[in-house]
Amino acid sequence: MKLVSLLLIVFSCIAIAEDPPRAAARLAHGLSWDTPAPGRNEGRIYYYVPPQLDMNKPAGLFIFLHGGSSSSKETAPQSYISGGLKRALDNSDFILAMPSAPPPQKIHTGHRWNYEGTYKSILATIDDVARRAHIDRDRIIFGGVSMGGYGAILNGLRYPETFGHIVGVSNALVTRDVNRRADTGSDGFSRGWFESIFGDLDKVQGGSHDPWAEAEKLRHSGRPLPGIYQAVGTEDFLYPVNQDFRAHMEKLAWPNYTYEEGPGGHVPEFTLPHLTRGLELACG
């Protein structure tokens, strides 16, 4: 089975409940949503406020980027709440904000958090939550799964003054050696598919789309270094590239870096518990 199809199956099989209430000008406890996504003219954003959270005190903020592929719907973020994030957040003083990914600009584009303007949209999300609730901008966690894990790691490393901690699970870190791709790889992804996302593949490694390069640059920059939690299943088709990134981070002697792996593939049974685990560690 081509892995493009696998991505669609994996992230469409998580049950999605009925729509929660529309968000008010000030966030209330529980799950709510609004449209359009901040900083955009389309999409949705979901919010979750733990029931015990004191709305009069500054809360931390967890921004989550969902996984999927070109067909992921704007309701995709909602499924992760019932999948485990609610349980982790209910023991914290963090608010969750989950924008839907920008719509695919080209067919089969699964790296929708890679588009120009992603960071601008995330900043707009922070400002949006700050208008609706009292948040502590020094406690912002940035996380994601699959294509969202790539987006969180890449943008978290680019903008460390904004994000104190990064949580990435089953991360689609597919930029490594991407210029060596054959016309169609054994994983089912074609060279043209990658070119539709990143452009000239000879310019990807070491460029602005390369988390390896961003990590190395940041490590030696003197800028703040976010804490990082990374997890991947040993049967995940993304296991090799996540192993490569782990080796890179260990070579850089990255402080406050946690890597975990275990049995499992690119499936919710692995991603959701480890996403919860990473969030719990980041929340302290």
**Residue-range domain boundaries for the chain:** 3-283
Could you tell me the pLDDT band of residue 21, with boundaries at 50, 70 and 90?
A: confident
**In CATH, what number does 3-283 get?**
3.40.50.1820
The rounded distance, in Å, linking the Cα atoms of 81 and 284 is 20
Q: What percent of the chain has pLDDT over 90?
A: 55
Q: How far apart are CA 3 and CA 5, in angstroms?
A: 5
DSSP conformation class of 146? T
C-alpha 166/C-alpha 156 separation (Å) is: 6
What amino acid occupies position 107? I
More confident residue, 127 or 196: 127
* 203-232 pLDDT, tens digit each: 888 888 899 999 999 999 999 999 999 999
Please report which confidence band the pLDDT of residue 105 belongs to, taking 50, 70 and 90 as the band edges.
Answer: low
**Structure confidence at residue 147 (pLDDT):** 86
Record the pTM: 0.88
What's the confidence (pLDDT) of residue 86?
87
pLDDT of residue 73: 76
pLDDT recorded at residue 242: 96
- Judge whether residue 7 has pLDDT over 50: no
Distance between CA atoms of residues 185 and 234, nearest Å: 20
How far is it between the farthest Cα atoms of the chain?
56
CB 275 within 8 A of CB 80: yes
